[in-house]
Structure 1
Amino acid sequence: MKKTIIFLVILMTISCSDKKKGNREFLIVPNSETNKFSLTDSLFVGEPSAGDAIFIKNTVEILGNSYFEEFDSILNRHNGIFSHFKSDEIIKSINITPDLSFELKRKKYKREENLKDIQIILYTKFKRIVKDSILFYKYHIDGVGNYTLQRNETLSYIDEKLNLYSLNTYTGLSEDAVGVDSWKKYAIQKESGKIKFISDLNYRYLASNKEKEMDKPSEFSENPVSTTSNENYDLDYGFQNTTFLYNCNASDHVTFSLNYGDFSCPSTEIRFKALLIKKDENNFELKYSEIKGYNIETTLDSKNYSEEISVGSLKYSNNKIEFTWLGFYNTKTKKREFTQNPFTGKVEYSSIILQKCQ
């Protein structure tokens, strides 16, 4: 009890003295029983929608609806705050603990692009020394071709556990179409100030799970769970954030990232995604999700590919993958397309072995 009173007195003393320091203030208070934090400054909380898989899915996939308008209004709201600050200007600082503090700063920009290039960096400081940084907000308009514009955006959300969700998107302004470049989860470590990467997140997979939960008959509960909760958003199968290769010695190998089912080959610009569905402890199913990369997209009838019929399967054990490729199923022609294995470029009638390379 005596220690608690001493702590509160110290906290009040520091808080009062901090009011004389302009924009520095104690906005996070440790809970002595649960050791959790409560971030109350909306500027540092960021945008909660950046942690909501259903909102992201609806914004990307449902055209001509209120979700895009809400997405635009979110950007406009943040622009209204950040556009007033000059290049390299500190926007605000807060103390998280006696040792850890956050600072927002606007990245340097050209004067004529004040409203077209708004990039905000979050710095973490430990014992007043900068320990890490991350892009916290971005609104950048680029000219693409002669007739269209593309906008690149970043939205961030910091939850009560100091997890940071970073959503990176791009928008074709001529058609009001939003796409996701990446959605990542980080953890800000209050013991060091470092920003640790946790995992890539798949908004389609997570939104689908949330929507299924919402469709289930609800049982009475005194503490209902919010449908926008960020808990259990990781695809933690024991090998997330891992890249598997077919040939470790090739200079231009195809890579396969398990958290997204993300295939990419730099020389051919082939890139597509498949949802990774766990069937049992070691076996997984791949279902078509999205094709990326201009060269491959123009040669395939991707709009008619089934998202329900498997494109392949894999078995994971001993840090290796037994991979079987079937190809995309075209619901219009009722046939498989792109049956060449993306790793070998050949039609494989049996599985191949993928491995992690040093």
Structure 2
Amino acid sequence: MKYLKLIIIFFTINLCKGQNDIADFLTTWYEIEKQQEGYRIVDCGYEGEWIRIKKDSINEHGVMEESFFKIHHIKEDGNSTSIYINGIEKYIISWIDKKKGIIQISSSFNENKRYYVAKSYLGRIKRVKGTGKNCISNDKFEEVKQYAYSKSEKKYSADGTWKNDCKNGVASMTIKDKEGSLVVLFNQIYVEMMEIKRYDFEKGIAYKLKSIPEDNGSFGITLPWKDYLNNKPIVYIKILKNNEIDFYWYGFYNNKTKKREITECQFDQENKKQKIILKKCNP
């Protein structure tokens, strides 16, 4: 009887996992066009759109911009899987043809349904040369890119000094225009940051490590800073109301190990809550 119960429990667990287990989507997906006769890739001479899904993050590369999100939680709903990047926004994924590695993706901030093929099936998709009708010229590409960035800059600003506690807080972050400084660990690690991406739908800004720090403590100087100097974000903030921001520390991305390191900062030590909300100390 005991073994029968174990078999039933095992069967129930596997049944609940469903056909859209997140493990099925852990790869890079390349956007394709749906045609009456099937699917195709339009080659415009520049890198097209793709989405890379990992166990804890989702990276969307567009023609004009790139987005990186930590996965908040995952929910399966019938034939689709929703990957939440916070409590509200999500990517919705469903299989179109599992045997051919083709899925459909939409999101709460972009309702257009798009089609993607898994990296391992990419060679099976017909590739055609793009034209002016479905490609962006180099001049137009730069024009749109600059316009989009300058337009988003005017909407919101993170300029100022930010702390958990303006009177007693040791950890602090100071932002001025597109650059900033951060106390990662008091008396040990102080870094300079540079803005790399804005996410207008939630007034979010991502920052990367700007340069190798010159002034660190005995622990800080032992870190492999050359491996940390890359375009991966180390900090992400969201502008809130009442001179507050939602702060998230990713940690440093090591180019050699392909992993995040120093994933806890001074703000985490001061504030043990799951979400870190910083206050502007010089409004």
Query: Is the TM value for this pair above 0.5?
Result: no
TM superposition score normalised by structure 1: 0.31
TM superposition score normalised by structure 2: 0.39
> Which structure has greater strand proportion?
2
